[in-house]
Structure formats: structure tokens, C-alpha cells
């Protein structure tokens, strides 16, 4: 069993979160992993700008009644984008309700991405087309699905890896522990990325965790674990890429705890002022992942105002496309409710479809 990563670390995470860039965007001294290449860094920047604009647009759509609910990931773009860009096309992503930005980064059509949150009766996208599992709302169920798929893929001789996204709250669910256990036993090619954004709705970390870190939760299951700065896009990309590569080469699973922060409320239905100090939000705004990457790119001469303006213009066009798509009134066919449930509809389902058709006549 491989217990040492290419960074030379064993099962235990580092005491301090691993970073490649400081909060001010300066490279750290003696980094644990190499800095991603310039093209990757510029791609990270572009996708983070697009993702943030998409997120703001989706939030606005809830206020206009065009979207039923939206869990924002503003402030978590380093994780949403960095982790997805670290995957290859043949890999699988297992997201949660908070990970719409990860989906659009993966290439899922933005309107298809939002169909579920719009309250449509089907998922919106084809999981097989993008190798993106349905966004899961029941916490931690996706951890089991990811381990199962990863194990099955290796069993079938494929070299694809499953990346599962989960929150700090989801690590308190039994499913996560069952998934970690069998990921360890089977040495499944799966990477668990815990986006520790400090809260499970209104419940802070201190009320649901006694371990030194969430990363420590992999150790007892024999799952190599990393603690990283989740607002450092370079560190997220490099760590996930390293873990994905290790998994692909037979090195087994990795659990990564990324320390980040949810800037917005849990969803548009939540009032975070009731349980969070504004000073805490201000502190995290000063550790913004996009500002950090921009500062670094500018210091390297890789980003100037013209390039940034071009990316911002692209993001505006992207948001306009999302607005237009979500503002289009689609007349769903009620009969579709019964489609895609089973490959062969059951007699009961056929009966219900006929009953509805009769009622609508
Ligand atoms: C099995 C299950 N229990 C409870 C809930 C209700 N619930 C929805 S979101 C949430 C908090 C999740 O927090 P976390 O895992 O940290 O993710 P975040 O929302 O911060 O991204 C809870 C308890 C749920 N969706 N599923």
C-alpha cells in the first residue's frame, strides 16, 4: 500500500494548511508542491472570474423568482475551479448542491446546470456526457457513489479517478465514514475534497468536530490526508492533481481538507447575520482567492488590465446567456414526468401516466 505522496508526506496532514501563495499573492518559501504552469494559472484565473459572475447571476435569478433556490459558492472559487481543472476528461466528478460553479467549469451547460435548482423535474444534464454525477442534496451520499464508481472502474480495467466534493458538515455523516473505510480497504482511486467553509448552515465547526482537523478523519481508515489553504487556487490545483495522479497510478485514495469560507448565506432562504459576525466575513473577504491569484499573476507580468478586462467582458456575456436561458419560459410536457425513471416503465408507472393523460384531456 502506498502511504507516501510525491511530496514525501505520509498518512498525516501537515499541522498548517499547505499553500503555494500567501494571502497577499506572494509565493511561499519552500513550497511542498511545484507551482502550476503559467497556462494553468491563467486558465484558473479565467474560470474563476467566469464562475464568480455565474454565481452572482444565479443569486440574482433567485430574487427574480426564476430560480427556486441557489446555494452560493462565492469565496470558494479556488476549490470549485482548482479541483475540477485538475481532472482529466475520463475522470468523474461527484458534486453537491453547492457546486454549480464546479459543473460549469467542467463544461456542463449553465442552463442545464441550474435546471435542478430551478425546480425542473429532471436533472437537466446527462451525467454520462460530462462524467458529472447528479448534484446531491442528501449530505454525503455522493461519497459512497464515488467510492463505488472508482472501485468498479478499476475492476473494469479503466484508469479513471473519482473526485467527490463534500462540506465540513457532511464529514459528520455516517455515509462519509463508510465511504472512507471502503476507499481505504479497496485502495479505490477516489479523492475526497472537503470544502471546510466553517459552517453547516448555522452550525459552526466547533460544534461538530473534536479532531485536530477534518483531514485527520481519513487517517483511521488508512486514507492519506492533506490539509490545504482552500483559498489558494494554485495549492488546490496542485494538491488535487497530485492526489488524482497518485490514485490513477494505483496509490489509493486521498482526503483533502481545504480551509475556505462561504461569503454568502447558506442559500437565498437563509439569513447568515443571525449566526455570523460581520468581522469574520470581512476577514475572509481580505483573503479572497481571486484577488490572491490576480496579485500573483500581475507580479509575474502574466496579467494586465487589458487581459483582465477581456476576461470580465467574457464573463458578462456568459451571464447574459444564463439570464436569457433562464428567462425563457419553457412549457414542460407533463407526460415527461414519467420518462427516464426506468429503462422499461413499470406497469404502475404506465397506469399513472395514463391516469394523468386522462385528467389533462
Ligand atoms: C442527510 C441530510 N441531512 C440533513 C440535511 C439538511 N442540510 C442541508 S445542507 C446542510 C448543511 C451542510 O453543511 P456542509 O456539509 O458543511 O456543506 P455546505 O452547505 O457548507 O456547503 C444540512 C444539514 C441534508 N441535506 N441531508
Instruction: Tell me what pLDDT residue 344 has.
Output: 94
Strands (E) across the chain are located at: 92-94, 162-167, 190-196, 199-200, 203-204, 224-229, 254-259
User: β-pairing, 92-94 with 162-167?
Assistant: parallel
168 Cβ closer than 6 Å to some ligand 1 atom: yes
Confidence of residue 9 (pLDDT cuts 50, 70, 90): low
Give the atom of ligand 1 at the shortest distance from the alpha carbon of 171: 15
> Does residue 110 surpass a pLDDT of 60?
yes
> Does residue 291 surpass a pLDDT of 70?
yes
What does the pLDDT look like over 220-251, one tens digit per residue?
Answer: 999 999 999 999 999 999 999 999 999 999 99
Report the C-alpha gap between 262 and 198 in whole angstroms.
8
- The per-residue pLDDT of the chain, averaged, comes to 95
Least confident of 9-23, 25-39, 235-249: 9-23
Dist. CA 194 → ligand 1 center (Å): 13
Instruction: Tell me what pLDDT residue 8 has.
Output: 56
Q: Does the pTM exceed 0.85?
A: yes
Q: Stretch 206-220: mean pLDDT, rounded?
A: 95
Q: Stretch 43-66: mean pLDDT, rounded?
A: 97
**Residue to probe by mutation, ligand 1, list 192, 197, 199, 201, most atoms within 8 Å of CB:** 201
What ranges do the domains of the chain cover? 38-330, 333-360
Q: Annotated active-site positions, please?
A: 262, 266, 275
Instruction: Determine what percent of the chain falls in helix, strand and coil, rounding each to the nearest 5.
Output: 50, 10, 40
CATH of 38-330 given 3.40.440.10, 3.40.50.970, 1.10.1040.10, 1.10.1790.20: 3.40.50.970
What does the pLDDT look like over 256-286, one tens digit per residue?
Answer: 999 999 999 999 999 999 999 999 999 999 9
Instruction: Tell me what pLDDT residue 3 has.
Output: 46
Instruction: Tell me what pLDDT residue 354 has.
Output: 96
What does the pLDDT look like over 139-183, one tens digit per residue?
Answer: 999 999 999 999 999 999 999 999 999 999 999 999 999 999 999
Confidence of residue 359 (pLDDT cuts 50, 70, 90): very high
Report the C-alpha gap between 186 and 145 in whole angstroms.
14
Instruction: Tell me what pLDDT residue 181 has.
Output: 98
Instruction: Tell me what pLDDT residue 10 has.
Output: 78
3-class DSSP state of 340: coil
Amino acid at each position: 500500500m502506498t502511504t507516501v505522496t510525491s511530496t514525501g508526506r505520509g498518512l498525516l496532514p501537515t499541522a498548517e494548511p499547505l499553500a503555494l501563495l500567501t494571502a497577499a499573492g506572494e509565493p511561499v518559501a519552500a513550497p511542498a508542491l511545484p507551482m502550476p504552469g503559467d497556462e494553468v494559472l491563467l486558465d484558473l484565473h479565467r474560470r474563476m472570474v467566469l464562475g464568480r459572475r455565474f454565481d452572482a447571476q444565479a443569486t440574482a435569478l433567485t430574487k427574480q423568482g426564476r430560480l427556486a433556490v441557489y446555494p452560493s459558492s462565492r469565496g470558494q472559487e479556488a476549490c470549485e475551479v482548482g479541483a475540477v481543472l485538475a481532472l482529466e476528461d475520463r475522470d468523474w466528478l461527484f458534486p453537491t448542491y453547492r457546486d454549480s460553479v464546479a459543473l460549469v467549469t467542467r463544461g456542463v451547460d449553465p442552463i442545464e446546470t441550474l435546471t435542478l435548482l430551478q425546480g425542473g423535474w429532471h436533472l437537466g444534464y446527462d451525467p454520462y456526457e460530462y462524467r458529472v454525477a447528479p448534484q446531491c442534496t442528501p449530505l454525503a451520499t455522493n461519497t459512497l457513489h464515488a467510492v463505488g464508481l472508482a472501485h468498479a472502474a478499476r475492476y473494469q480495467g479503466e484508469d479513471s479517478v473519482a473526485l467527490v466534493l463534500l462540506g465540513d458538515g457532511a464529514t459528520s455523516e455516517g455515509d462519509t465514514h463508510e465511504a472512507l473505510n471502503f476507499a481505504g480497504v479497496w485502495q479505490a482511486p477516489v479523492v475526497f475534497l472537503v470544502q471546510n467553509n466553517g459552517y453547516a448552515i448555522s452550525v459552526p465547526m466547533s460544534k461538530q468536530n473534536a479532531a485536530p482537523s477534518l483531514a485527520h478523519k481519513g487517517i483511521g481508515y488508512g486514507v492519506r490526508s492533506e490539509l490545504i489553504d482552500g483559498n489558494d487556487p494554485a495549492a488546490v490545483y496542485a494538491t488535487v492533481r497530485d492526489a488524482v495522479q497518485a490514485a490513477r497510478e494505483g496509490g489509493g485514495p486521498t482526503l483533502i481538507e481545504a480551509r475556505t469560507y462561504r461569503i454568502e448565506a447558506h442559500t437565498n432562504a437563509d439569513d447568515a447575520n443571525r449566526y455570523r459576525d460581520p468581522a469574520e466575513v470581512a476577514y475572509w473577504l481580505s483573503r479572497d482567492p481571486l484577488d490572491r491569484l490576480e496579485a500573483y499573476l500581475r507580479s509575474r507580468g502574466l496579467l494586465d488590465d487589458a487581459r483582465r478586462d477581456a476576461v470580465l467582458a467574457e464573463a458578462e456575456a456568459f451571464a447574459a446567456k444564463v439570464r436569457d436561458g433562464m428567462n425563457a419560459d419553457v412549457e414542460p410536457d407533463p407526460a415527461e414526468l414519467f420518462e427516464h425513471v426506468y429503462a422499461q416503465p413499470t406497469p404502475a408507472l404506465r397506469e399513472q401516466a395514463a391516469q394523468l393523460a386522462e385528467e389533462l384531456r
